[in-house]
Structure formats: structure tokens, C-alpha cells
């Protein structure tokens, strides 16, 4: 049951299966697929023979064979969409409304600058005729329009280059994520991990609990395998896979339970998920020129249609991320868009408000200029409108319009929304060096607001290198691992046999990489500790596995959050069965009715004996922070017939206890200090673990989460659920609000408990500000909690693919101190934005006032001798101070001190601690232009003067900008500009 005997492999000259045949096979489901395999291939082994692969040893890894398979069946890649070209980015930048207005105005100005009315006509147009252009400037009349066009070109190129750089960085990030995705396959008889993109048809994949399947395949051996196919079918119920009922496994689906081996039959665009991607237009492979032309013709209609289809298939498309380097990008596009981040939303709102004020000032400037011009020309001078003078008057109106647009451009803080993106991109780059792989940019910003962290214990707060340090074997308690000669050989053989077959075969102890180093633990760390115990007892577990390969295991009840145990059934030669079990001691001991004694005999294990064992063995181990695991077995005599293996309640009872072991997982040395930093920063750290209450409390004290004598809660999941449910079994927020403020340790918790706690904290209104919660998770069932949290951290080493898919940030070292680094960089975003905001608002107000004053109050002088460079200078000044403050202010680092500061709150974006330093010179800037800029009353006294003080304002702004403390590193630029 659950396995088959591989047939004799008959060499065939070539593949006996075509690509189309395999694609049609993978479209079948359920019993129909099993029947098709039986009809065409005999069994899964026959399919392997047709694909020229071995179900036991896999492919031989020959490079020529691999290339031939890639040519015949394709690669496990979905060609990503082509990135936008630089020309496309330039075109997008040109769509800015402000730039379009400037372009139109500049073109009109440029065209009118070449118009020269006859002298006689000029004399009939009043003083305005001489005010547009003096004879000395007539030849240079085109400079203003050309200069503005040049500035627009510069801005467009800079914007396009920034977008190109941002897209390049994003693709680099996705490539980094793709490189992290690996899968376990069998090649040449060896179990190896290869990149997902290197999986080919014919590979034998080893699948286990928590895996995200990267390719389509057919089951050739399974142990209690259950798959979540909701991403493709929409059905929420898990599908049980077996050789005789439903052997088809599809890419993009999740392994929720069990393990097994799968022969790959379709990869990349030929897999079920790849086909969906192709239908959605995510891949252009195979499209002819006519199809491309037709798609371009119907681009707008198809875009709307695709959006709807993507929403319908969002789960299916999401899960294909590991197939290609741009998969994550596709995933992001197909997922429902999150609300705009708090900081970005507030800055955008602020930019809109300032823009409206700027628009008002711009309109007011134009209105005043036009009004004064009309009054001066047609009323005071008494000039009569003539057709000959119309071009001159239009020239003035265009100039007034350009001045108004200049005021608007200076007033609008277009850099505010961009500031968030640049600061986040900078912080994300730094976070990657601190072992934080950010998948969603907004998560970086949100971590700056974090007020609570719900952390796992194993591997996050602890080192995740487990070793058995105490043991209770066959009725005797050993404070240290006993010497082999202290335990009867028969009992040792039974113990090691149970450990060898009842631990995942992918878990193993490897020799150290360096001489004198510690042995490498590969796979589940708790199982590694048990395998290490077998080696300490001088027994070779690998020889047992060689004698009993995984294919011979009759039945496996894999570990899950409900069972909290794992059991493996072996079939003996006489028809009887023996089952080995391991799991949490307080759970498994309740299922034991016998206990193995040192003489090799068993005796009754009554509830009183169990309570005595818990009190004398389990609790002392747990009080020292040890994880306690019970090892047991049960025999099923052949005389009683074959049991009903689906009746787990009966099967997993009547056990005989062999041993209880205490596993030590030391606290990471850097964790206590990291937690103290969080506490000083106003962040509450809570431990949510599946361990028992005593172990969890001991570790929490070692970490500093709680101190002896603190009035904080440490409760188990069962008690937590009892307190938060009312008489009708419904969860009440009021009940949660009475618990979470004092809760520090939630032990023996399920993923559902974690989700309930996170949701309760987020939805709570006990405090004035909403709590911002970060959560760590590594298991498949942690997905809901990771998605519900404001920021979800998945473990890069111990985490399952499902947890990583649901997360916002992946901890590549599984270390809690890396979370603290994420908080630091998140707060660095806020501090950097604060610096930029203080400078931007100060300079914007000054620029608008100076431009408005210079344009309106000195309007007469403008008419007499306007500056060809005034508007251009103001425009350049606006761009310079925006770009330089963005580059310098947003790339500064607050350092580790940022973590020690109180958080900014969920809605506040103005940082503290930087205002005083920045207000020094910046706050004085409004006075500087007014102190030094002068408005001459006589042109003859000041022949070189310009009535618009833009030149001086430009130099003054740059001078004070480069001398602010935040931008001291721009001295070189200042020297270049002056």
C-alpha cells in the first residue's frame, strides 16, 4: 500500500512519449487519470520506462541527456515579459501633465520669438512693443523657449533613467528570490537539491509537507499524501493522492500533508500552471506575428479582459512563481492590489494639497500679470487694439502663462511620492545585506511602525541546532545520554529502528564541512537530534534505511499541527505489522497503555503512572528549556487481521512507550540584546510556539521576553481559546482585548491560534493607535497568520515554500536579530523622509513667494527688461533641489540608534530628532532672498539687473542646501555649481 515494485528497465532507443501525449495525460483527473496510466503504461513504473528514467535512481545526470530532454519537452521556465525599453519609459515620462503644458508653452514662445513687426507698427503698440524684446535681445529671443524645452528633455531623461534603474533593481531582486528556490530530486541514485528552473521531464522529485510543486508529475510512491489544489481548481478541500485513485500532481499546488516521489511529466509552459499563464498572456512563446499584431490591435480590450481573468485565477497564477525568474513579478501583478501604504498615501495627499495651493498661486500670478498689462496698455497708455499689434500682445500673454506654469512647477512637490520609492529601494538594498529578503517594498516601511512582534521559538529565538541531552529509556532516567553498554542491546535496536524509519528519509546527519567542525544537520532539526542520539548510542541508522528503503514503508502518518506526532507502519514477513510513533510527550504519553522496562518486558502504564512520569521526568526537562519527545511503538498481530488504517483514533492508541528524550535548542546569543532593543523602542515581543508551557516559559526567560516576577501571561492554546470564546463558541473581541496586552507566551498553540491572536491584536481598539503586528512563520499552516499580519516574516532555511509565498520578508538566516535590523531600516525610511520633507516644504514655500513677488510686484520691470533665463532658472532650481535632496537625504542612514527611538505610530510620518539640525540653515532660507535680492527702481543704475530674483534664489537655495547637516556630503557638487 502506498508503493509499487519497479519493473525491469528495458532500454529503448528514444522517448516513447511525446510532448502532446504527456500534456493530454496531465489534463485528466481522479480515477480517470489512474485508468489512463493503467491502460497505456501498465503502471507508473511503465511510464518511467517510457521516459527512460528510473523510479529509484532517477536520471543519471548526463549532460547530453539533459539537453535532449530540454529540447524535446521544454525547460521549467515561463519566459518573462520583456522589460520596457528606454524609449517606452521616455514616452511614459512625457505623459506628465506639467511637462506637456511646459512643452506647449515653450513651443508657442519659440514660434512667436521669431516674429518681428515693422517699426511703424511697433510704435502704435505702446510700451509693450519695446518690453517684449529690446533690440539687444532680439537675436536671443528664442533662448527662453529653447531653454525650457531643453530642461524638459533633461527631466524626461532623468525620470526615464530612474524608472529604468528601479525596474532593473526589481528584476535583480526577483532573480535573487528565484535563485533561493530549490527542490529535492533524485539523480544518479543520490538525493540532491537543484534549482527549480533546472528540473526536467523524467526527474524524480521527492515531495514532502509544505512543498510548492514546481512541475506536473505522476505519483510513483506516496505516504498519506494530501494536496491543496485550490490554486488551480478553487476547491478548498485537500485532495488525497494515491497510485490507484488519483496519482496526478500539478504545478503550483501545495503539499499539505505526507510525502512521496513523483516523476515529472510536464514543465514550464507545458505544465498546467504554465498553460494558464500562456492563456493569460503572461508568455508570448509560440505566438506568431499575426497573433502579435492582432493582440496589439486589441490591446485595450484585452487588457481589461486579462485583469478580470487574472483576478479569477489569482491563486493559480500566484503559485507559479518558482518557475521563472520573473515569476514573482507576475505574482505581484496578479494578486489583488494592496491599499496604498500609509506613508505613501499621506505624502501623496500632502502633495495634492500643496499642488492645489500652487495652482491657486499660479492662476493668481497669471491673473495679476494679465490684469496689470491690460490696465497699463489699454487704459493708462490709451493704446487701441490693432491687428498688427496682436502678435506682440499674444507674446506677452504667453510669457505670463509661462511665468504661471513656472510658479506651479516650483510649488508642486513632485518628489514626495517618489521619495518613498527611492528611500524604500535604498533600505531594501541594505536589508538584503542584513539577511532580510524583501518581497514587498511596503513591508520595509511598515516595519518602521511595528509595535508588536509575534515570534516563533525554534530557529528564530534559538539556534535550531538540536541535540538530545537527557533521556528516559526503558524505565530509567539519564541526566546525560547514556553509554551504549548501560542499555540492553535489544532495547537499543528497537529504539534505533524506530528512529531510523520514523524520521523523514530526507533528514540526515552529514560529516562536517571543515575538519574539527560540528556534523551538519540536514532536514527537520528535531529528527536530526534523534538521529544524532542513534549515532551517540553507536548505532548506524543509515544501514537500517538501506535495508528498509522508503518504498517498503507500508503506511506513514505524517506530522501535522493537529496530530503533533508522526507514525510509520512496517509490514513483517509473517503478515503482522509494527508501528513506530514519535511526538510531543504529553500528547503521546496519553495514548500509551504500556511501557517498556529495562528487562525488555512491558508493563501496564496507568494514568497514575503517566502523571508520575510527567512530574518526575517531563516537567524537570521542560523547566530547563528542553523539548520533550516521546518514542513509542505498537504491534498489530496477523491473527487480528488487517486494521482499518483510516481509523486514526484507533490506530494511534494502545502504544507502548520506549523512551522520552529531552532535546536542547540553545538560545541564540544575540537574541536577548535584540529583544532589549525592541523593548526600549516600544515594541512588544511575544513568543508563539508549539512547545509545552514549561519549555516555552524557560526559553522566554532566557531570551528576556519575560522576567521572573513579571505580571505577564504565559498560557497554552487550549486555555487561550477557552478565554476568548463565549458560551456560543464565538470569538469575542472584548475577550481578546482582556488577554493580549499582558500576553507574552502562547504555548502549545496551533496555526489557527496564531492567526486568531494576530487578528485580535490588529482589530483591537484598546489603545489609541492601532497595533502594527509583525509575525514569523515557517509552516504551511502559518500562511493565514503571515497574510493577516502587517508584515509577515518567513524562515528562509526552515520555512516551507507555502510560508515563503505568504510572507512579505524572508529571513535568510532565520534569526530574530535580523527582524530588529528590519525595524531599524524601516525607521530609517521615516527619518529620511522627514529630512526630505522638511527641506522640500521650506524651499517650496520660499520659491513660490519669491517667484510670485518677482513676477507681480516688479511687473513693470519685467515688461521693460525681462530675463530670458528667469523661468528656466527657477525651473532648474526646483529640479536641482528636488533631485539633490532626494539623493542625499533619502540615502542617509540613521544607524542602530533608530531602533532605540519610540516608533512613529501607524499614521505619523514626521520623524523626530532631525528637525532641530535641519531647521538651522533651512529655516532661515525664507529670509535670505529677501535680504539680498533687490528690486531696482532705475534700469540705468543697474544695467545688468533682472527683476525676477530667480538667479539669486537659485544660488542661495543651493548654498543653503549643501550646507545643511544632512547634505554635507554634497560639497563637491556645490563647488561644481559655483
Q: What is the pLDDT of residues 610-630, one digit of tens each?
A: 999 999 999 999 999 899 999
**How far apart, in whole angstroms, are the C-alpha atoms of residue 648 and residue 901?**
53
Structural domain contains residue 180? no
Tell me which DSSP letter residue 771 carries. P
CB 667, CB 702: distance < 8 Å: yes
- Is the CA virtual torsion 636, 640, 646, 650 positive or negative? negative
The answer, yes or no, to whether residue 942 has pLDDT greater than 60, is no
List the beta strands (DSSP E) in 739-882.
Answer: 743-747, 773-777, 791-795, 809-811
Helix (H, G, I), strand (E, B) or coil at 234: coil
Give the per-residue pLDDT at 317: 32
Give the per-residue pLDDT at 371: 87
Give the per-residue pLDDT at 878: 60
At residue 886 the predicted structure's pLDDT band, cuts being 50, 70 and 90, is low
At residue 218 the predicted structure's pLDDT band, cuts being 50, 70 and 90, is very high
780-787: long-range pairs with CB below 8 Å, 24+: 780/209, 780/210, 780/254, 780/255, 780/256, 781/560, 781/561, 781/750, 781/751, 781/752, 782/751, 782/754, 782/806, 784/751, 784/752, 784/755, 785/454, 785/751, 785/754, 785/755, 785/758
Give the per-residue pLDDT at 426: 78
CATH, residue 765: 3.40.50.1000
- For 128, the domain range is 88-171+341-427+825-935+942-977
Q: What is the mean pLDDT of residues 842-859?
A: 74
Q: What is the mean pLDDT of residues 105-116?
A: 68
**498 shares its domain with 647:** yes
At residue 879 the predicted structure's pLDDT band, cuts being 50, 70 and 90, is low
Structural domain contains residue 83? no
Mean pLDDT score across all residues of the chain: 76
Strand partners, 54: 58
User: Of the ranges 180-189, 311-320, 458-467, 475-484, which one carries the lowest mean pLDDT score?
Assistant: 311-320
Give the per-residue pLDDT at 720: 94
Give the per-residue pLDDT at 318: 32
Q: What is the mean pLDDT of residues 871-900?
A: 56
Q: What is the 3-state secondary structure of 939-964?
A: CCCCCCCCCCCHHHHHHHHHHHHHCC
Q: Residue 707 corresponds to which cell in the numbers above?
A: 522576567
**121 shares its domain with 265:** no
**674 shares its domain with 722:** yes
Phi-psi region of 421 (alpha: psi -120 to 50; beta: other; left: phi over 0): alpha
**298 shares its domain with 161:** no
Q: Which among 765, 782, 814 is the end of a domain?
A: 814
Give the per-residue pLDDT at 332: 36
CB 741, CB 734: distance < 8 Å: no
Helices (H), 335-389: 342-374
CATH, residue 296: 2.70.150.10
**480 shares its domain with 588:** yes
**485 shares its domain with 617:** yes
Per-residue pLDDT of 596-608, as tens digits, reads: 998 889 999 999 9
**404 shares its domain with 495:** no
Q: What is the mean pLDDT of residues 154-164?
A: 78
- Is the CA virtual torsion 535, 540, 542, 548 positive or negative? negative
The answer, yes or no, to whether residue 221 has pLDDT greater than 90, is no
Q: Which among 312, 334, 356 is the end of a domain?
A: 334
Give the per-residue pLDDT at 881: 57
Structural domain contains residue 186? no
Annotated catalytic residue: which of 456, 665, 753, 831? 456
**99 shares its domain with 232:** no
Rank 297-301, 443-447, 617-621 by mean pLDDT and report only the highest. Answer: 617-621
Give the per-residue pLDDT at 545: 92
Q: What is the mean pLDDT of residues 652-672?
A: 92
CB 528, CB 464: distance < 8 Å: no
Structural domain contains residue 179? no
Q: Which stretch of DSSP H or E encloses residue 104?
A: helix 97-112
Q: What is the mean pLDDT of residues 303-313?
A: 43
The answer, yes or no, to whether residue 342 has pLDDT greater than 70, is no
Give the per-residue pLDDT at 933: 33
User: Of the ranges 46-55, 125-134, 613-622, 628-637, which one carries the lowest mean pLDDT score?
Assistant: 125-134
**How far apart, in whole angstroms, are the C-alpha atoms of residue 421 and residue 277?**
29
Structural domain contains residue 281? yes
**Portion of the chain with pLDDT greater than 70, in percent:** 72
Give the per-residue pLDDT at 659: 95
Max Cα distance, the chain (Å): 128
At residue 154 the predicted structure's pLDDT band, cuts being 50, 70 and 90, is confident
Structural domain contains residue 183? no
The answer, yes or no, to whether residue 870 has pLDDT greater than 60, is no
Q: What is the mean pLDDT of residues 36-65?
A: 88
- Indicate yes or no: pTM above 0.75: no
**How far apart, in whole angstroms, are the C-alpha atoms of residue 373 and residue 368?**
8
At residue 511 the predicted structure's pLDDT band, cuts being 50, 70 and 90, is confident
Taking Cα atoms as reference points, which of 328, 295, 330, 334 lies closest to residue 312?
Answer: 334
More confident residue, 86 or 414: 86
Give the per-residue pLDDT at 915: 40
Structural domain contains residue 262? yes
The answer, yes or no, to whether residue 904 has pLDDT greater than 60, is no
**How many CB atoms within 10 Å of residue 542?**
13
CATH, residue 474: 3.40.1110.10
User: Of the ranges 328-337, 687-696, 875-884, which one carries the lowest mean pLDDT score?
Assistant: 328-337
Query: 456 an active-site residue?
Result: yes
**471 shares its domain with 458:** no
Q: Encode burial over 563-600: b for 16+ CB neighbours within 10 A, e otherwise.
A: bebbbbbbbeeeeebbbbbbbbbbebbebbbbbbeeee
Which residues touch 26 (CB under 8 Å, ≥6 apart)? 216, 248, 250, 265, 266, 271, 272
The answer, yes or no, to whether residue 873 has pLDDT greater than 70, is no
Per-residue pLDDT of 485-498, as tens digits, reads: 899 999 999 999 99
**624 shares its domain with 485:** yes
At residue 646 the predicted structure's pLDDT band, cuts being 50, 70 and 90, is confident
Strand partners, 259: 208, 223
- Is the CA virtual torsion 51, 53, 59, 63 positive or negative? negative
Going by their DSSP bridges, the two strands 791-795 and 773-777 should be labelled as parallel
Give the per-residue pLDDT at 182: 83
**How far apart, in whole angstroms, are the C-alpha atoms of residue 524 and residue 531?**
11
Q: How many domains does the chain have?
A: 4
Helices (H), 857-893: 859-864, 870-889
More confident residue, 26 or 99: 26
Q: Which among 757, 792, 814 is the end of a domain?
A: 814
**Portion of the chain with pLDDT greater than 90, in percent:** 23
**635 shares its domain with 530:** yes
**600 shares its domain with 649:** yes
Q: Residue 406 corresponds to which cell in the numbers above?
A: 513656472
Give the per-residue pLDDT at 292: 44
At residue 256 the predicted structure's pLDDT band, cuts being 50, 70 and 90, is confident
Structural domain contains residue 642? yes
Helix (H, G, I), strand (E, B) or coil at 825: helix
CB 802, CB 210: distance < 8 Å: yes
Give the per-residue pLDDT at 721: 92
- Cβ burial of 317 (10 Å; 0-12, 13-18, 19+) is buried
Give the per-residue pLDDT at 151: 74
Which residues touch 971 (CB under 8 Å, ≥6 apart)? 962
Give the per-residue pLDDT at 113: 67
Per-residue pLDDT of 744-763, as tens digits, reads: 999 988 888 999 999 999 99
Q: What are phi and psi of 595, to 5 degrees?
A: -140, 140
- Is the CA virtual torsion 578, 584, 585, 591 positive or negative? negative
Q: Cell 511620492 identifies what position?
A: 417
Amino acid at each position: 500500500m502506498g508503493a509499487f515494485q519497479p519493473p525491469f528497465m528495458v532500454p529503448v532507443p528514444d522517448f516513447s512519449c511525446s510532448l502532446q501525449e504527456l500534456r493530454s495525460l496531465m489534463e485528466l483527473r481522479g480515477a480517470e487519470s489512474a485508468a489512463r496510466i493503467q491502460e497505456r503504461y501498465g503502471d507508473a513504473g511503465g511510464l518511467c520506462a517510457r521516459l527512460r528514467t528510473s523510479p529509484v535512481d532517477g536520471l543519471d545526470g548526463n549532460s547530453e541527456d539533459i539537453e535532449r530532454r530540454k529540447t524535446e519537452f521544454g525547460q521549467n521556465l515561463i519566459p518573462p515579459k520583456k522589460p520596457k525599453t528606454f524609449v517606452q519609459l521616455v514616452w511614459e515620462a512625457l505623459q506628465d501633465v506639467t511637462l506637456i503644458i511646459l512643452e506647449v508653452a515653450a513651443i508657442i514662445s519659440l514660434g512667436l520669438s521669431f516674429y518681428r513687426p515693422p517699426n511703424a507698427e511697433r510704435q502704435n503698440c505702446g510700451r509693450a512693443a519695446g518690453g517684449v524684446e529690446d533690440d539687444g535681445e532680439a537675436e536671443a529671443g528664442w533662448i527662453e523657449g529653447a531653454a525650457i524645452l531643453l530642461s524638459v528633455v533633461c527631466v524626461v531623461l532623468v525620470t526615464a533613467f530612474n524608472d529604468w534603474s528601479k525596474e532593473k533593481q526589481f528584476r535583480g531582486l526577483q532573480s535573487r528570490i528565484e535563485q533561493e528556490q530549490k527542490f529535492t530530486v533524485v539523480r544518479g541514485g543520490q538525493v540532491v537539491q537543484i534549482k527549480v528552473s533546472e528540473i526536467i521531464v523524467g526527474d524524480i522529485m521527492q515531495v514532502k509537507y509544505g512543498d510548492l510543486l514546481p512541475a506536473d508529475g505522476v505519483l510513483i510512491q506516496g505516504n498519506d499524501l494530501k494536496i491543496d489544489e485550490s490554486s488551480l481548481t478553487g476547491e478548498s478541500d485537500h485532495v488525497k493522492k494515491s497510485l490507484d485513485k488519483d496519482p496526478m500532481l500539478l504545478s503550483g499546488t501545495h503539499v499539505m500533508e505526507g510525502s512521496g516521489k513523483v516523476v515529472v511529466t510536464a514543465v514550464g509552459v507545458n505544465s498546467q500552471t504554465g498553460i494558464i499563464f500562456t492563456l493569460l498572456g503572461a508568455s508570448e512563446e509560440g505566438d506568431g506575428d499575426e497573433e502579435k499584431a492582432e493582440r496589439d490591435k486589441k490591446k485595450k480590450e484585452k487588457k481589461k479582459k486579462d485583469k478580470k481573468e487574472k483576478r479569477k485565477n489569482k491563486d493559480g497564477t500566484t503559485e507559479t512563481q518558482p518557475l521563472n525568474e520573473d515569476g514573482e513579478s507576475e505574482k505581484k501583478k496578479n494578486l489583488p492590489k494592496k491599499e496604498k501604504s500609509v506613508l505613501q498615501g499621506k505624502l501623496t495627499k500632502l502633495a495634492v494639497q500643496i499642488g492645489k495651493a500652487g495652482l491657486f498661486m499660479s492662476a493668481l500670478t497669471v491673473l495679476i500679470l494679465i490684469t496689470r498689462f491690460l490696465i497699463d496698455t489699454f487704459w493708462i497708455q490709451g493704446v487701441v487694439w490693432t491687428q498688427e499689434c496682436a502678435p506682440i500682445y499674444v507674446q506677452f500673454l504667453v510669457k505670463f502663462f509661462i511665468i504661471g506654469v513656472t510658479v506651479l512647477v516650483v510649488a508642486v512637490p513632485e518628489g514626495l511620492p517618489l521619495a518613498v520609492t527611492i528611500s524604500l529601494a535604498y533600505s531594501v538594498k541594505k536589508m538584503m545585506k542584513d539577511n532580510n529578503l524583501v518581497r514587498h517594498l511596503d513591508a520595509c516601511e511598515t516595519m518602521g511602525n511595528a509595535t508588536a512582534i509575534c515570534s516563533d521559538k525554534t530557529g528564530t529565538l534559538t539556534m535550531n541546532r538540536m541535540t538530545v541531552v537527557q533521556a528516559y529509556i526503558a524505565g530509567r532516567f539519564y541526566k546525560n545520554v547514556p553509554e551504549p553498554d548501560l542499555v540492553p542491546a535489544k532495547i537499543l535496536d528497537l529504539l534505533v529502528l524506530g528512529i531510523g524509519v520514523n524520521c523523514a528519509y530526507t533528514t540526515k546527519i552529514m560529516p562536517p564541512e571543515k575538519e574539527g567542525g560540528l556534523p551538519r544537520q540536514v532536514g527537520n532539526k528535531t529528527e536530526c537530534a534523534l538521529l544524532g542520539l542513534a549515532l551517540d548510542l553507536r548505532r548506524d541508522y543509515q544501514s537500517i534505511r538501506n535495508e528498509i528503503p522508503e518504498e517498503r514503508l507500508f503506511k506513514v502518518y505524517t506530522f501535522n499541527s493537529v496530530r503533533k506526532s508522526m507514525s510509520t507502519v512496517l509490514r513483517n514477513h509473517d503478515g503482522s505489522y509494527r508501528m513506530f510513533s514519535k511526538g510531543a510527550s504529553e500528547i503521546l504519553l496519553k495514548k500509551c497503555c504500556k511501557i517498556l522496562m529495562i528487562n525488555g518486558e512491558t508493563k501496564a502504564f496507568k494514568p497514575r503512572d503517566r502523571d508520575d512520569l510527567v512530574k518526575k521526568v517531563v516537567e524537570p526537562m521542560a523547566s530547563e528549556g528542553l523539548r520533550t519527545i516521546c518514542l513509542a511503538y505498537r504491534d498489530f498481530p496477523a491473527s487480528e487481521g488487517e486494521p482499518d488504517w483510516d481509523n486514526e483514533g484507533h490506530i494511534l492508541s494502545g502504544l507502548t512507550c520506549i523512551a522520552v528524550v529531552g532535546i536542547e535548542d540553545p538560545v541564540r546569543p544575540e537574541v536577548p540584546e535584540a529583544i532589549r532593543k525592541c523593548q526600549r523602542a516600544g515594541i512588544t515581543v511575544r513568543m508563539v510556539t508549539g512547545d509545552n508551557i514549561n519549555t516555552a516559559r524557560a526559553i522566554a526567560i532566557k531570551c528576556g521576553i519575560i522576567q521572573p516576577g513579571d505580571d505577564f501571561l504565559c498560557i497554552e492554546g487550549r486555555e487561550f481559546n477557552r478565554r476568548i470564546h463565549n458560551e456560543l463558541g464565538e470569538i469575542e473581541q472584548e475577550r481578546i482585548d482582556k488577554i493580549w496586552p499582558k500576553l507574552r507566551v502562547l504555548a502549545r498553540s496551533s496555526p489557527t491560534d496564531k492567526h486568531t491572536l494576530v487578528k485580535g491584536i490588529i482589530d483591537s481598539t484598546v489603545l489609541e493607535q492601532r497595533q502594527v503586528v509583525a509575525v514569523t512563520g515557517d509552516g504551511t499552516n502559518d500562511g493565514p497568520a503571515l497574510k493577516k499580519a502587517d508584515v509577515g516574516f518567513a524562515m528562509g532555511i526552515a520555512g516551507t515554500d507555502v510560508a515563503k509565498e505568504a510572507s512579505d520578508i524572508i529571513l535568510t538566516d532565520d534569526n530574530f536579530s535580523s527582524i530588529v535590523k528590519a525595524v531599524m531600516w524601516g525607521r530609517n525610511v521615516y527619518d529620511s523622509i522627514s529630512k526630505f520633507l522638511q527641506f522640500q516644504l521650506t524651499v517650496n514655500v520660499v520659491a513660490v513667494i519669491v517667484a510670485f513677488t518677482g513676477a507681480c510686484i516688479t511687473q513693470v520691470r519685467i515688461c521693460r527688461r525681462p530675463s530670458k533665463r528667469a523661468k528656466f532658472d527657477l525651473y532648474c532650481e526646483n529640479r536641482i533641489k528636488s533631485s539633490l535632496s532626494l539623493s542625499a537625504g533619502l540615502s542617509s542612514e540613521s544607524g542602530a540608534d533608530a531602533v532605540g527611538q519610540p516608533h512613529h505610530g501607524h499614521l505619523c510620518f514626521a520623524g523626530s530628532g532631525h528637525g532641530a539640525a535641519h531647521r538651522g540653515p533651512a529655516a532661515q532660507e525664507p529670509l535670505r532672498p529677501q535680504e539680498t535680492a533687490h528690486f531696482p527702481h532705475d534700469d540705468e543704475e543697474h544695467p545688468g539687473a533682472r527683476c525676477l530674483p530667480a538667479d539669486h534664489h537659485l544660488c542661495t537655495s543651493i548654498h543653503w542646501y549643501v550646507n545643511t547637516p544632512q547634505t554635507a556630503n554634497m560639497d563637491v557638487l556645490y563647488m561644481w555649481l559655483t
